Structures are given as structure tokens and as C-alpha cells.
Structure 1
Amino acid sequence: MLESGVLRVLGTMSGTSLDGVDAAVIETDGITVSNFGKNGYRRYSEAERAVLRAGLGRWPGEAGVAEAAALTLQAHVEAMAPFAGEVALAGFHGQTLAHEPGGRGTHQAGDGAELARRLGVPVVWDFRSADVAAGGQGAPLAPAWHFALAKWIGADEPLAFLNLGGVGNVTWIDPARATPEEPGALLAFDTGPANAPIDDLMASRRGEPFDADGALAASGEPSAAVLERFAGHPWFAARPPKSLDRDDFAALAGEVAALGDADAVATLTAVAAGAVLRAAEHFPAPVSRLLVTGGGRRNPVLMAGIAAGLGCPVEPVEAAGLDGDMLEAQAFAFLAVRVLRGLPTSFPDTTGVAAALSGGIVSRPEAGRSPGPSA
């Protein structure tokens, strides 16, 4: 039965960095973590990344969207198929092409119902739309997972999880609270631009997907003028919860257009670090540690920039025994169980929704296909 007990669940994530599909298995009842399982990764080729980029900022029916959706579905089938016979349920985030809470809504490409048919496993998907329809920001959605992880690592003081993907997002947690829906347990929001401006510049100027090990940033000098203008952006004074689209800070490209490659990347890296420091000003209480996930944790220049201004240990999540490459994929496995069981996936202090709610669609495979083992 899927309605109770611990399930073996597969989760996937294809983030705003457009690097590939992460797939990870966990065992959970949707409240606590029982075990971590196998994982996998399906990288996007540069040609595939170009297809996805062509769909960014676009909505269903617009040019490039159908191609991006078809690619997203096929890549996820390839990433998830090796696990399909081992899991009871799957969580499919899809590929975010556009995100405009308070406006046109949110758009994650990829058909979860078709994915369920192809895999023969129930699939939970479209996690964000219900929250946006209810007046929430639709992001971030990982905080319930971060709360479970804080309990799993035995944290006893406030701490934060920072995800440095294309956009940065942070979850502040008080592990003394009993559940994530308890008032004061969580505060979560997007910090600002993270890897996306750096990756886009590296791709356009050097034909490389990212600044490996922060090497180019380390050789450059940040522009004080750009940093000063960036620090005055009204985003940072806005009270959380709040969320961003990947391209909300697209003007940064123009800000560094006249700089050489090294100085431009150094500036964008300092911008990403500065965004995190400004975010910390909103924490309800200082944190005992900042655990960092996402590709940005491998950039020593970015990590050092955050640590220099925060005043607490800034560590990759591996320091707590977690897998920073798979944390978001694991999150959508965890959230899939919560959706299936009607547990809340977003909260007033994470997305700004008026009351805790459970979003998502559950699609079951066509008749006659095996849904896999129950645990």
C-alpha cells in the first residue's frame, strides 16, 4: 500500500543551471528519513542545453516550448528507467521554463502522466502550480525536506541550508520545533542570482559550461561599481518569502559587458556571495552553520566570499554526511510522498501562501502496468 508506511521513492531534478537530470532514491514516510538509496545522473549535451535555453521565459504554446518539453520528458525517462522496478513512487519536478508568481503563474515543462505510463510507476508532478494559484510564490519547495534533514543530522541549534544552483535559495530552520508546519520552524526564500549569470557568461564568451573550481574568478578583480549598484537592488530589502525567475537579474550581463572575462566572472561570483549575505539579514536568529548544496559549493571563491561575511561555519552538505549533488532530487522524492498522503509541501513562511497546503498531481500508470514494489 502506498498510503502508509515507509516507501522506496525516486526523485528527480533538472534545475536552472541546465546541466542535466539528477535522480535519487530515498526511503521515507514523508515525515522522517529512513535511508538513502542509489542515484544517477543524465547529463545534457550542449545541443540539448541550447534547446532548453530556447524555451526559457516561454509559456505553453509559445515557440520552443514543445521541443523543450519533449527533451525534458525523454531525458527523464532515460534517467529514471534504471530505477523504475525498484521503487513504489516517483517525484518529477520537470524543467522550469518560466516562473511569474502573481502574474502568469509557473511553467515546468514535462508531462508527468506520460512519464508514469512510460515507467510503469506512479508519478507525482506539477508541484508548484497549486501554491501559485493560492497566492504563494511557488518556491522554494525543498524546506520540508531540509527540516527532515536537520532532524536526521541531529541539529539542536538554528541552521540554514543554502542551495547554490542557477538561482540561490536558503532555508532557515529551528530544529527545536516538532514539525515543519509549526510556526517559527522555517523561513525560506530565494537569495538572488547564483550560478546562472556565471554559467551564461562562460558559455557565451568561452564556450564552457561553468567556471571550474572558480579558477577564472580567482584570477580576476570584482568591479566595486557593479557591486555597489547591485547592493542597492530593491530585491534585497523586500521581506521574505520571495522567489525569482532564473532571468530576473539578466541585466547583470550588461553590467559586466565591458569587463574582461576574469574580472566579469569575479564580479558575478562576488554578486552571488553578496546576495547570500544580504539574505542572512532576514534570518529570525543567527545560524550555527550554513550547509551548502548545489554546484556553487564547488566554487571556492564563492564559498570564501560567503564565509568571509557570515560569521559561522560555511560548509558543503557533505560535512554533515549528505550528498550535495542529489539533495534536490531527494527533496522531490520526499515531497512526492507528502503529496500522495496529503501532507503540506509549502507553508506561509516558505512560499508566502496563506495556509500550509499540499500541491502536486498524482498520475498512475496505465492499466496493466506494474507500479513496482510497495517498499
Structure 2
Amino acid sequence: MKELGLMKAVGLMSGTSLDGVDVAELTTDGLRIEAFGASSYRPYSDTERAVLRGALGRWQGDDLSDALEVTQRAHLEALDGYSAEIIGFHGQTLAHDPRGRGTHQMGDGDALSQATGSPVVWDFRSNDVQMGGEGAPLAPFFHFACAKWIAAREPIAFLNLGGVGNITWVDPRKENAANEGALLAFDTGPANAPINDLMQERRGLPFDKNGALAREGKVETGALELFLAETYFARMPPKSLDRDDFSVMLDLVRELSDADAAATMTAMSAAAVMQGMQHCPAPPAKVLVCGGGRHNPVMMKMLNEALDCPVEPVENVGLDGDMLEAQAFAYLAVRVARGLPTSSPTTTGVSALIGGGNISYPT
């Protein structure tokens, strides 16, 4: 391997919750984290969110000009004031079907590179899918670096509660993320996306702020049991989901009051995590939560009551739970530039350690 030097990278993330664009700076050599930098958030307007929501489930070749224009403009505006040696541009996931049509993260890295004057790494997931992997989750190699940065001494788990939930089990006693037994990662199930859809449908709101509506309701155990009977939970990891794979959740709560529906769907998302924890190679010392779900005290209480280890926001160990995924794509951009792998058999199920991502350079 060629000698690695430090690079200042900026990562961009727009998740399936459709809330906005996260931007974060990171200095790294693609292995260790040297320093975290500035970060910011560019929210989507209601109009932009509606355009993106209308594009969900659609593929390359469809007419997505309006949604692409929203994505490009929002990401470019989010980068205002930032400079970096390299940019990691995740794009907006519209569809994910790794065993079928593939994966689709909308975004034009070439155009973003020309507009910013910086190299842009993008389309991170396609190569993994083409090589037989799930294409997700992609943050685990960064989670391993985070475990080293916080000086963890025993296995821990990072739980991202975004639109979809995913977990990374990390053994920081291993020297490198690519070592056997260092990582296991997979999507646990739906997290915020179906709750957000419920709130939009029932209340015209983008999400259940602070779990306020869920706190007023009670969990319908029959609906919860039907949800847990889904075959996805019996599958061994690695495994991944599309944002709308569990659209059945809305049908299961169709007859419930708004509050009971919110409580039940929150319990479903928490129960999916509980099911997933059974796959961990060893019990983690703690579960560190990032993503919007950590702001939902109802969901966090459910997890703490059900799991045999502390469940706490990543801020408790000095990390930024709102920006962890944007930081991850800054980190992965440097790995791509250095020719380092970005996924492995135990993170996406790909047949061997591989790198992903295209690099576009300004002219």
C-alpha cells in the first residue's frame, strides 16, 4: 500500500428521512481520524421535500429532472463556505433493490465537481451491489475509526436510526477494520421513515417531534406481532432494506388513532433493533445511537428497557450524532482516493474486500 497522507475532506448526506442535507468536515488519512471540523445543515423546504418524496421508488432512466434539480441545488447551497481537498457526495437514495434492479442514489458528481472546483467521490454503492453485496450499510469502516478515536476497549455497537435503522458491531481490539472479526453490520429494519410518513399523512407534519404523539398513545400488540412475523427478521446478516420495504407498517395501524398508531410504529422500529441485536457476535458493552431517532425519548426508552446494555446518544462519547453519516462519507471519500476498501463480506455481504465510488475532477 502506498504511504497515506492526511486529507481535509467534506462529506454530504441526505437520508431517506428527507429532512435535509448534512455537511461535515473531517481530516483523515482514510484509516484514522485526525480531527473533526465544521458542520452544518441545509433543511429541505416543504416544496422540495414533496418533490423528492414523489421521486421515491424511481430508477435511472426515469424522468427525474425536477428531483435532480432539487438535489443538486440543495447540496451546492449546503457547501457554501466550505473548502476541501475532496468531497464525498452520497446523493439521494430513491430506490434500493440489491438482488433485483440494483441501487439508485440520485446525484451528478461531475456537475458538483465542476461547480465547486474540487474532486468529488460519488455513487458509492453501485460497485458493491455489482459484486454481489447489499450496497449498505456503508458507514461501518468509519464506525471502526470512531471506536478507535473514542479509545473503546471492548466491543460496542453503533446504531443509526435514520429513515432505515442499521447497526454496526465493532471489535476495537482488532488492528484494522478489514481484519476478520472486526465488524458486523446490517439494516435492522425501518426506523424513522414510516413514522414520518404517518405524521405527514395524518397530521401534515414531517416527523413526531420528541416522540410527543407516540407518548400519548398505547402500543397495539397484535399489530406489533404481525410486524415481527415479517421474514426479513429471520434472515442472517449482512442484509439491507429499501426505505419503503416495510410500507405494510402503515396498513397495520390504519384503524388506530393517531397517537396509538405513532406509539405502535415507534415500538415496531425499536423491536426491529431488538431482533437485530441477537445477531451480534458478542454482547456489546454499549449501544451508541446516532441519527434522528436518538431525539425520540419514547424510542430511546423502549430500547433501554429491552436491551441488556446501556443505550445512549453518541454525544456521550464526544461524537456528533447528527453529522456522523456526513462525516462517514468524507472518510469514505478519502478511502476511495487512496484505493482502500469501503465494504467487506461482514458489512455488506460482498464476496471480498472492495472499494466503491467514482471520482470526478474539475476541468
Same fold (TM over 0.5): yes
Pairs within 5 Å for 1:177-216: 177-216=174-213
How far is the alpha carbon of 1:331 from its aligned partner? 0.1
Aligned partner of 1:370 in structure 2 is none
One-letter amino acid of the structure 1 residue matched with residue 173 of structure 2: A
Question: SS at 1:144's partner residue?
Answer: helix
- Aligned counterparts of 1:66 and 1:320: Cα–Cα separation in 2: 42
Confirm whether residue 37 of structure 1 aligns to residue 34 of structure 2.
no
SS at match of 2:132: coil
Please name the residue that 1:96 is paired with. 93
SS of equivalent residue, structure 2 residue 165: strand
1:280 is matched by which residue type in structure 2?
M
Q: When the two structures are superposed, what TM-score results if normalisation uses the length of structure 2?
A: 0.99
The TM-score normalised by the length of structure 1 is 0.95
Contact kept? 1:3, 1:340, Cα under 8 Å: no
Matched residues in 2 for 1:3 and 1:333: separation?
Answer: 19
Of 319, 323, 346, which aligns to 1:322?
319
Give the number of aligned pairs: 362
Q: Distance in 2 between matches of 1:356 and 1:145?
A: 15
Corresponding position of 2:47: 47
Corresponding residue for 1:356?
353
Q: What secondary structure sits across from 1:52 in the alignment?
A: helix
Please state if 1:113 is matched with 2:118.
no
Instruction: Give CA-to-partner distance per residue, 1:208-249, whole Å, 9 cap, x none.
Output: 111111111011001010011111111111000000000000
Q: Deviations over 1:129-172 (max 9, x none)?
A: 00000000000000000000000001011100000000000000
Structure 2: unaligned runs, 5 residues or longer: none
In 2: Cα distance, 1:66 partner to 1:134 partner: 29
Q: How far apart are 1:115 and its partner, in Å?
A: 0.2
Q: Quote the residue 1:11 is aligned against.
A: 11
What secondary structure does 1:36 align onto? strand
Secondary structure of the 1:351 match is coil
Q: Name 2:269's counterpart in structure 1.
A: 272
Aligned residue for 1:78?
77
- The superposition leaves residues 297-344 of structure 1 with CA deviations (integer Å, 9 ceiling, x where unpaired) of 000100111111111110000000000010000000000000001100
Structure 2 matches for 1:93-242, cutoff 5 A?
A: 93-242=90-239
1:137 and 1:245 map into 2 onto residues whose CA distance is 11
Question: Alpha-carbon deviations, 1:249-301, whole Å to 9, x = none?
Answer: 00111110100000000000000000000000000000100000000000010
**Counterparts of 2:65 and 2:246, CA distance in 1:** 26
Partner SS for 2:80: helix
Cα distance in 1, alignment partners of residues 68 and 360 from structure 2: 17
> Following TM superposition, by how much is the alpha carbon of 1:201 offset from its aligned partner in structure 2, in angstroms?
0.6
1:3 Cα deviation from its structure 2 partner: 8.0
2:301 alignment partner in structure 1 = 304
Runs of 4+ in 1 over 2 A off after TM superposition: none
Given that residues 70 and 110 in structure 1 are in contact (C-alpha distance below 8 angstroms), is that contact kept between their aligned partners in structure 2? no
| AA at the equivalent of 1:92 | F
| Cα distance in 2, alignment partners of residues 287 and 4 from structure 1 | 31
Structure 1 gap segments, 5+ residues each: 367-375
Q: Residue 66 of structure 1: CA displacement?
A: 2.1
Matching residue's letter, 2:74: A
**Residues 321-374 of structure 1: per-residue CA shift (max 9 Å, x gap):** 0000100000000000000011000000000000010000010111xxxxxxxx
Counterpart-to-counterpart distance in 2, 1:8 and 1:15: 23
- Please provide the CA RMSD for this pair: 1.0
Q: Distance in 2 between matches of 1:259 and 1:53?
A: 24
> Structure 2: how far apart are the matches of 1:224 and 1:358?
43
The match for 1:343 among 340, 343, 347 is: 340
Q: Distance in 2 between matches of 1:109 and 1:68?
A: 8
Structure 2: which amino acid aligns with 1:66? S
SS of residue paired to 2:79: helix
The percent identity for this pair of structures is 60
DSSP-derived class of the 2:166 partner? strand
- 2:328 alignment counterpart: 331
